[in-house]
Structure 1
Protein backbone atom coordinates (compact mmCIF):
# COMPACT_ATOMS: atom_id res chain seq x y z
CA UNK A 1 0.00 0.00 0.00
CA UNK A 2 2.75 2.45 0.95
CA UNK A 3 4.69 1.59 -2.17
CA UNK A 4 1.62 2.39 -4.29
CA UNK A 5 1.12 5.75 -2.55
CA UNK A 6 4.80 6.59 -2.90
CA UNK A 7 4.73 5.91 -6.65
CA UNK A 8 1.76 8.20 -7.33
CA UNK A 9 3.13 11.42 -5.84
CA UNK A 10 2.48 14.34 -8.19
CA UNK A 11 5.49 16.11 -9.60
CA UNK A 12 5.95 18.87 -12.12
CA UNK A 13 4.95 22.52 -12.39
CA UNK A 14 1.51 22.05 -10.74
CA UNK A 15 2.82 20.24 -7.63
CA UNK A 16 2.30 22.19 -4.40
CA UNK A 17 -0.05 24.86 -5.70
CA UNK A 18 -3.21 25.67 -3.80
CA UNK A 19 -6.58 24.80 -5.24
CA UNK A 20 -9.83 26.80 -5.06
CA UNK A 21 -11.10 24.17 -2.64
CA UNK A 22 -8.43 25.26 -0.12
CA UNK A 23 -9.64 28.85 -0.37
CA UNK A 24 -13.21 27.67 0.24
CA UNK A 25 -12.15 25.78 3.36
CA UNK A 26 -10.31 28.83 4.70
CA UNK A 27 -13.32 31.08 4.07
CA UNK A 28 -15.66 28.63 5.83
CA UNK A 29 -13.34 28.47 8.85
CA UNK A 30 -13.10 32.27 8.92
CA UNK A 31 -16.89 32.65 8.79
CA UNK A 32 -17.28 30.11 11.61
CA UNK A 33 -14.76 32.00 13.73
CA UNK A 34 -16.58 35.31 13.18
CA UNK A 35 -19.91 33.72 14.15
CA UNK A 36 -18.41 32.20 17.30
CA UNK A 37 -16.90 35.52 18.38
CA UNK A 38 -20.22 37.33 17.86
CA UNK A 39 -22.04 34.68 19.88
CA UNK A 40 -19.49 34.89 22.68
CA UNK A 41 -19.82 38.69 22.81
CA UNK A 42 -23.62 38.39 23.14
CA UNK A 43 -23.22 36.02 26.08
CA UNK A 44 -20.59 38.21 27.75
CA UNK A 45 -22.86 41.26 27.54
CA UNK A 46 -25.49 39.36 29.52
CA UNK A 47 -23.17 38.81 32.49
CA UNK A 48 -23.46 41.07 35.53
CA UNK A 49 -20.81 43.72 36.20
CA UNK A 50 -19.74 42.00 39.41
CA UNK A 51 -20.41 38.66 41.03
CA UNK A 52 -20.41 40.09 44.55
CA UNK A 53 -23.49 39.02 46.51
CA UNK A 54 -26.04 41.76 47.21
CA UNK A 55 -26.72 40.60 50.76
CA UNK A 56 -23.73 38.63 52.07
CA UNK A 57 -24.40 36.32 54.93
CA UNK A 58 -22.49 37.03 58.18
CA UNK A 59 -20.34 33.91 57.85
CA UNK A 60 -19.59 34.46 54.16
CA UNK A 61 -16.69 36.85 54.79
CA UNK A 62 -14.58 34.03 56.20
CA UNK A 63 -15.22 31.77 53.22
CA UNK A 64 -14.54 34.13 50.32
CA UNK A 65 -11.23 33.50 48.61
CA UNK A 66 -10.19 30.67 50.87
CA UNK A 67 -10.10 26.96 50.54
CA UNK A 68 -12.60 24.96 52.57
CA UNK A 69 -11.16 24.30 56.01
CA UNK A 70 -8.40 26.91 55.73
CA UNK A 71 -10.10 29.20 58.28
CA UNK A 72 -11.46 27.83 61.50
CA UNK A 73 -15.10 28.65 62.26
CA UNK A 74 -15.70 31.57 64.59
CA UNK A 75 -16.34 31.03 68.25
CA UNK A 76 -19.38 32.50 70.00
CA UNK A 77 -17.72 35.90 70.65
CA UNK A 78 -16.93 36.56 66.95
CA UNK A 79 -13.19 35.76 67.02
CA UNK A 80 -11.73 32.85 65.08
CA UNK A 81 -10.84 29.77 67.08
CA UNK A 82 -7.18 29.10 67.68
CA UNK A 83 -5.71 26.57 65.23
CA UNK A 84 -5.33 23.08 66.57
CA UNK A 85 -1.73 21.90 67.08
CA UNK A 86 -0.62 19.16 64.71
Structure 2
Protein backbone atom coordinates (compact mmCIF):
# COMPACT_ATOMS: atom_id res chain seq x y z
CA UNK A 1 0.00 0.00 0.00
CA UNK A 2 2.76 2.50 0.95
CA UNK A 3 4.81 1.57 -2.12
CA UNK A 4 1.84 2.30 -4.37
CA UNK A 5 1.44 5.69 -2.70
CA UNK A 6 5.14 6.55 -3.12
CA UNK A 7 5.19 5.36 -6.74
CA UNK A 8 2.37 7.64 -7.85
CA UNK A 9 3.25 10.40 -10.27
CA UNK A 10 2.49 13.73 -8.62
CA UNK A 11 1.70 15.20 -12.04
CA UNK A 12 2.27 18.78 -12.99
CA UNK A 13 1.51 21.22 -10.22
CA UNK A 14 -1.51 23.29 -11.04
CA UNK A 15 -3.80 25.59 -9.19
CA UNK A 16 -4.36 29.27 -8.61
CA UNK A 17 -1.12 29.75 -6.62
CA UNK A 18 1.24 27.88 -8.99
CA UNK A 19 3.92 30.05 -10.62
CA UNK A 20 3.25 33.16 -8.61
CA UNK A 21 6.12 34.86 -6.84
CA UNK A 22 5.65 36.92 -3.77
CA UNK A 23 6.31 40.67 -4.01
CA UNK A 24 8.28 40.21 -0.80
CA UNK A 25 10.80 38.10 -2.75
CA UNK A 26 11.33 40.92 -5.24
CA UNK A 27 11.78 43.38 -2.38
CA UNK A 28 14.42 41.15 -0.75
CA UNK A 29 16.31 40.77 -4.04
CA UNK A 30 16.28 44.56 -4.62
CA UNK A 31 17.50 45.24 -1.07
CA UNK A 32 20.35 42.73 -1.49
CA UNK A 33 21.28 44.28 -4.84
CA UNK A 34 21.32 47.80 -3.37
CA UNK A 35 23.45 46.61 -0.45
CA UNK A 36 25.93 44.99 -2.82
CA UNK A 37 26.21 48.17 -4.91
CA UNK A 38 26.82 50.26 -1.78
CA UNK A 39 29.47 47.85 -0.50
CA UNK A 40 31.32 47.88 -3.83
CA UNK A 41 31.29 51.70 -3.94
CA UNK A 42 32.57 51.91 -0.38
CA UNK A 43 35.33 49.39 -1.06
CA UNK A 44 36.46 51.29 -4.16
CA UNK A 45 36.59 54.52 -2.16
CA UNK A 46 38.76 52.89 0.49
CA UNK A 47 41.05 51.26 -2.08
CA UNK A 48 41.66 54.61 -3.78
CA UNK A 49 42.93 56.00 -0.46
CA UNK A 50 45.68 53.38 -0.16
CA UNK A 51 49.24 54.34 -1.06
CA UNK A 52 50.82 53.01 -4.25
CA UNK A 53 53.39 51.04 -2.26
CA UNK A 54 53.88 50.11 1.36
CA UNK A 55 57.66 50.43 1.19
CA UNK A 56 58.99 52.84 3.83
CA UNK A 57 60.51 56.09 2.54
CA UNK A 58 63.51 55.87 4.88
CA UNK A 59 64.25 52.19 5.58
CA UNK A 60 67.47 52.80 7.56
CA UNK A 61 66.00 52.31 11.08
CA UNK A 62 64.26 49.12 9.96
CA UNK A 63 67.17 47.79 7.92
CA UNK A 64 68.65 45.78 10.79
CA UNK A 65 65.33 44.05 11.42
CA UNK A 66 64.97 43.29 7.71
CA UNK A 67 68.42 41.67 7.45
CA UNK A 68 67.25 38.47 9.09
CA UNK A 69 68.07 36.84 12.37
CA UNK A 70 69.94 38.36 15.30
CA UNK A 71 73.71 38.23 15.07
CA UNK A 72 75.00 35.18 16.89
CA UNK A 73 71.72 33.30 16.75
CA UNK A 74 73.08 31.06 14.01
CA UNK A 75 76.80 30.28 14.42
CA UNK A 76 79.06 30.86 11.44
CA UNK A 77 80.40 27.50 10.32
CA UNK A 78 82.80 27.23 7.40
CA UNK A 79 82.48 24.18 5.22
CA UNK A 80 86.24 23.64 5.55
CA UNK A 81 86.19 23.36 9.36
CA UNK A 82 85.96 19.81 10.67
CA UNK A 83 83.03 19.13 12.99
CA UNK A 84 83.87 19.73 16.65
CA UNK A 85 83.51 16.74 18.96
CA UNK A 86 80.77 16.92 21.58
CA UNK A 87 82.05 17.21 25.13
TM-score for both structures, normalised by structure 1: 0.57
Q: Which runs of 5+ in 2 are unaligned?
A: 1-13, 77-87
Counterpart of 1:24 in 2: which secondary structure?
helix
Task: Look up the match of 1:72.
Answer: 69
| Structure 1 vs Structure 2 CA RMSD | 2.4
Q: Which runs of 5+ in 1 are unaligned?
A: 1-10, 63-70
Runs of 4+ in 1 over 2 A off after TM superposition: none
Say if 2:45 is the partner of 1:42.
yes
Which has the greater radius of gyration?
2
TM-score for both structures, normalised by structure 2: 0.57
**Distance in 1 (alpha carbons) for counterparts of 2:22 and 2:74:** 73
Q: How many residues align?
A: 61
